[in-house]
Structures are given as structure tokens and as C-alpha cells.
A and B are shown apart, each in its own frame.
Chain A
């Protein structure tokens, strides 16, 4: 099980880094968002004018909007990578590669699990790029950077990784399974487009919950991405000021979501891979 899953993960990663321009895209896409959204769209200025208000209450413990949004940006990367994780399976079915895997004496589960794993590896690398780029902005005159807490340590970094991995696994589990069920990429692209922005913008990844209208607040508080960014911000800024939940509740929330999605994904993938 491990041997073939590993071999298939390596295959996916090779396909990924050999795609022309892939390395450039890994850097430019987050760069665009950080620059255009994070720096230009500086809603911090608006909030600052309110007297007697701790800005950290609005920005989940961050002292400026850019620091707030840079952390959220990592979930954006994970979200998009996971939503697209099933698309390559449609291609594998069309080329007959999937049939070749199905003829091989490998556990059926190694097919979806390898795809989920490679998705998480790829997107986690990109999330690290986001955080490093965002922090490096501090050294560029005229830009503000992501300000980590003085006490930020290795355990916090691991905690961030756990949050992102859980988010990636839960969404990839569902979308890999959908990639096995759905036979045409158009259908899958439709589903992806239906979900990506609503999922993103009903969470506190890029917009503080405090600035949302009431009806959206209710949704945002239970969006799985909110659990992830809420937990991560507390780890990055080392404060519970402006947090929705405690880190433990955040972890519990995303874990429950991950278990649900992976169960659903397993049921769907199993059904799709069964012979008929």
C-alpha cells in the first residue's frame, strides 16, 4: 500500500514540476494576490480612524490588514489546489492510465490517497512561499510585511502545517472522489467555479468577520476555512485578541470537517472505482 502510493505521489509531483512555467506560477500567483489585494486594498486605514478601538480586535490579532490577509492567503492556495485535485484523474481516465492502475494488483485506495497526498504536498509548499514572500515584503520600501509574533516558534509552524494539511485533505478527499465519478472536466470545472469564491469569501480569510453584514457573519463563523485561519492567526500573532474561537476549538472544528469529508470522499471514490 505505502510503496505504490509513494510511487504514484512521485509521479504526480514529477508531472507538476515538469509543467513549463510551473515554478514561475508558484511565485507569481501569490505575489499578485499579496500585492494587489493585500497592499492596495488596505482596509486597515478605514478601521484605524475609529477612535478608542483596538485594531487587533478587527484583524484577528494582527496589527495591520496585510498581516491579517497574508495568513488567510495560505488557505486560498490550499483551497484552489484541492478543488482542482480531481481534474487530472479525468485525464487519467481518458488516456487509459487509470485503467492501467485498476488492472494492477494495488489496493484501490492507493489511487485517491496518492492524489490527495500530492495535492497537499504541492499546496503546502506554495503556502510556505506565501508566508515567506509576505514576511519579505517588510524589507521592500513602501510595502508592509507580515509581522510574526516575537515568540513565533517551530511548534507554531507545525501547528500551521497541521491546520493547512487538514483543510487540504478534506477538500481534496471530496474533489478527488468527484474526479473519479465525473467523466467530463466541464462538469467538474462547473462545480469548482460554483464553490471556490463562495467558500473563500464567506470565511474570514481575506475579510474580517467584524466588517461583515450580520447574515454573512452567521455563515462565516461556521465556514471550515474560518476555523483554519482563526487558529493560524493565533499561532502567528500569539494572541487571542480578535479570535473567534480558542485554538483547540479551531482544531476540533477543522478535524470534524476533515473526518466528514474524508468519509464522504472514501464512500464516493470506492463507488467510482468498483467494477460494473
Chain B
């Protein structure tokens, strides 16, 4: 369970690249111990740059960031001991076996060999690679490589695990299995997980709290439910034979229903209310009393999709397309860390 104890404290963080490119623009947030915290935003929003600063790969140009109580600029080596990173790209050594990759990582984190062997066994079985542990990684499928990457990031039991776009470019099956691993980690350990994603579904399904980031700025930060609520209420669509002024007038007068919005779209009356559970019976009762035949009823709960649209004025998908002619985001890119220099 998340506690009130902050393990990441970011205050006015800023990264301006040459040419006045504001990749991260006065960002402030706290991540609490044991929570899954998500950075949701389109490509180029500043997610990977923020992660790189928190991971001591990059220096900020302004502001302050503390990870596990240590300053990321001045106490980098202390920060490094407590964090694990599963980068966006597949960074395992393709010429080594899966097992050798995990064991190499455990040596880099100074884990005694007896314990390292035990940890490696556990992690291989956790990600289902026990049978292929002695195969060269080159022969692995994309999904296997990603799971190996995940296991490698966990070898030293980091207090905070950073997952940069953990399911980017993966097939549905692998994506689901990665999500399962994340949920398992969350329920079985007290590990804090910081993830970035541009998949709404992923942020919604995994995160305790989400920060929506766009153009280097955090524009909203709340629980998934909180973000959805802020968008406005549920939409109840009542299909009738003919939707007209009389129907709308009737809706306005329903007792006990706080109407946010009411309009007709074709033969459907779109009624927006703060809470559909309470309003629906009352609305249907009114229709019944006025003897208007109801053909169909649909309730639409607000989605994170709508929330994103509300906050940024765009849909996530639009951003991908208008990326200045850069290739589509679905293909995993190599050289991630280089590109930002």
C-alpha cells in the first residue's frame, strides 16, 4: 500500500536543450513509497528526459530532484544503488545467454555470486525463461527479450523500478504478461514503480496516480478515477422514436437529477450527469411517466481518453500523427539515449 513517505521529490525540474528546446519545463511532483506512478503523455512530451534525469543519466538545467532522499545531481552514486531501470529499448547483450545477462547485471550491482545464482533462478522463473536461460539472446523472440529486460532490472531488488514505455511495440500477449508482472510486483513487494507510457489503457489499469505530461509540463496529476471525474460526468444516452424539444424540456424538469448537459443527437437524447447510477432510474421513470417509449439506453463512463482530450485539447493519437514527419511510435527505436543529447 502506498504510504505518505515520498521516495521521489521533484521541484521545478527543468531541462532545456540547446536551441531553447524545453523538454522538461518546471515540473514538480512527489512519488510515494509503494505506489505505481505513471507519466502519461504523447511522444516528445518529456517523459524519457525526466526518467533520464531521475536515473542519473542526464543533468537537469534547473530545479531539484531527490530520489530516495538523495540529490540526483550531487549524490548520483547513492541514487544508483537504490534504483532499477527497464529502458524502452532491448538492451540485453544479444551474444550472451539470458542467464549470463542477468548474472552480469548482478555483478554490476555487487551481489555475492551464491545469492546472484539464486536470484537469477527466481527471476528466470518469474518471467518464464527458465527453459531458455542458456540460449543466446539473439535467438529470443521480441517478447522474451522484453521479459529478460524486466528480470534484469529487478536483480538487485531496487527500491524504485523505472519502466520506460514498458510495452511499447509489443504484441497483445506480451503486453498482458508484462502488466501481470507489474501487478504481481505491486501486490507482493513494496517496490515503488515509476512508469511512462502513452497508452491510456496501461496508465488506467496499472497506476495508483497518473501525471499527464505534455510539452514538458504536468497538466494534471491525480488518481485515474480523479482524472476521469474532473472531465465531467457520465453520459446517459436514451434512444427514443423522436428526440425533440419536448423531450429536452422534460429532462430539465426531472426531480433529483443535476443536469450538466442535455441535447439530441439523432434519435438519441444525450444526458450528461455527475453520477449515472443515481440518475438513471429517475430519468427512466420520467420517460415512463410521460409515456415516451424508450428504445435503448446506454451509459458511458468517462474514460482517460476523454480526460486526456479535455486537458490537452488533443487526442493522444493525433499527436502521434503530427509528429513532424517522424516515424510512427509503434516501432521500437534504437539509440534512445543518444537521440536526446
B240 within 8 A of A: no
Chain A nearest CB, measured from B210 CB (Å): 24
Chain A: interface size category = 20 to 34
A271 within 8 A of B: no
Q: CB within 8 Å of A: which of B257-303?
A: none
A140 within 8 A of B: no
Give the one of A14, A19, A93 with max B CB within 10 A.
Answer: A14
Give Cα A19–Cα B100 distance, bound, in whole angstroms.
Answer: 16
A270 within 8 A of B: no
User: Quick one: which of A11, A14, A276 contacts B341, CB cutoff 8 A?
Assistant: A276
Give the number of residue pairs across the A-B interface with Cβ within 8 Å.
86
Nearest residue, chain B, Cβ from A275: B59
Contact A97 B57 (CB under 8 A): no
Using Cβ atoms and an 8 Å threshold, which residues of chain B touch A15? 93, 95-96
Chain A nearest CB, measured from B140 CB (Å): 14
Chain A nearest CB, measured from B340 CB (Å): 10
Contact A104 B104 (CB under 8 A): no
Nearest residue, chain B, Cβ from A102: B57
A106 within 8 A of B: yes
Contact B104 A11 (CB under 8 A): yes
Contact A7 B107 (CB under 8 A): yes
Contact code string B106-137 (vs A, CB < 8 Å = 1, else 0): 01111000000000000000000000000010
A51 within 8 A of B: no
Contact A105 B59 (CB under 8 A): no
Using Cβ atoms and an 8 Å threshold, which residues of chain B touch A99? 57, 87, 91, 336-337
Using Cβ atoms and an 8 Å threshold, which residues of chain A touch B93? 11, 15, 97
Using Cβ atoms and an 8 Å threshold, which residues of chain A touch B56? 102-103, 275
A3 within 8 A of B: yes
Using Cβ atoms and an 8 Å threshold, which residues of chain B touch A54? none
Contact code string B62-89 (vs A, CB < 8 Å = 1, else 0): 0000000000000011001101010111
Chain B nearest CB, measured from A272 CB (Å): 11
Using Cβ atoms and an 8 Å threshold, which residues of chain A touch B80? 103-105
Contact B109 A105 (CB under 8 A): yes
Contact A96 B336 (CB under 8 A): yes
Using Cβ atoms and an 8 Å threshold, which residues of chain A touch B85? 100, 103
In the complex with contacts A95-B334, A99-B91, A104-B109, A275-B104 CB distance below 8 A: no
Contact A94 B335 (CB under 8 A): yes
A56 within 8 A of B: no
Nearest residue, chain A, Cβ from B59: A275
Q: CB within 8 Å of A: which of B277-332?
A: none
A183 within 8 A of B: yes
In the complex with contacts A7-B104, A104-B108, A183-B338 CB distance below 8 A: yes
User: Quick one: which of A18, A96, A103 contacts B89, CB cutoff 8 A?
Assistant: A96
In the complex with contacts A15-B95, A94-B334, A97-B93, A105-B81 CB distance below 8 A: yes
Using Cβ atoms and an 8 Å threshold, which residues of chain B touch A6? 107
Contact A275 B109 (CB under 8 A): no
Using Cβ atoms and an 8 Å threshold, which residues of chain B touch A3? 107, 110
Give Cα A52–Cα B20 distance, bound, in whole angstroms.
Answer: 76
Chain B nearest CB, measured from A69 CB (Å): 34
Contact B108 A94 (CB under 8 A): no
Chain A nearest CB, measured from B109 CB (Å): 6
Contact code string A102-143 (vs B, CB < 8 Å = 1, else 0): 111110000000000000000000000000000000000000
In the complex with contacts A3-B107, A96-B336, A276-B59 CB distance below 8 A: yes
Nearest residue, chain A, Cβ from B153: A100
Nearest residue, chain B, Cβ from A18: B95
Contact A14 B87 (CB under 8 A): no
Contact B83 A103 (CB under 8 A): yes
A264 within 8 A of B: no
Q: CB within 8 Å of B: which of A55-108?
A: 93-106
Nearest residue, chain B, Cβ from A274: B59
Chain A nearest CB, measured from B244 CB (Å): 61
B58 within 8 A of A: yes
Contact code string A157-198 (vs B, CB < 8 Å = 1, else 0): 000000000000000000000000001000000000000000
B90 within 8 A of A: yes
Nearest residue, chain A, Cβ from B53: A275
B190 within 8 A of A: no
Nearest residue, chain A, Cβ from B96: A14
Chain A nearest CB, measured from B18 CB (Å): 10
Chain A nearest CB, measured from B283 CB (Å): 54
Contact A11 B91 (CB under 8 A): no
Give Cα A177–Cα B177 distance, bound, in whole angstroms.
Answer: 40
Chain B nearest CB, measured from A51 CB (Å): 58
Q: CB within 8 Å of B: which of A1-56?
A: 3-4, 6-8, 11, 14-15, 18-19
Give the one of B76, B91, B341 with max A CB within 10 A.
Answer: B91
Using Cβ atoms and an 8 Å threshold, which residues of chain A touch B76? 275
17 interchain pairs, CB-CB under 8 A: A4-B108, A6-B107, A7-B107, A7-B108, A8-B104, A11-B100, A14-B95, A15-B93, A93-B335, A94-B334, A96-B87, A96-B88, A97-B91, A97-B93, A99-B91, A103-B55, A104-B108
12 further contact pairs, Cβ within 8 A, besides A105-B110, A275-B56: A4-B107, A14-B100, A93-B337, A96-B88, A97-B92, A102-B57, A103-B56, A103-B83, A105-B108, A105-B109, A275-B57, A276-B58
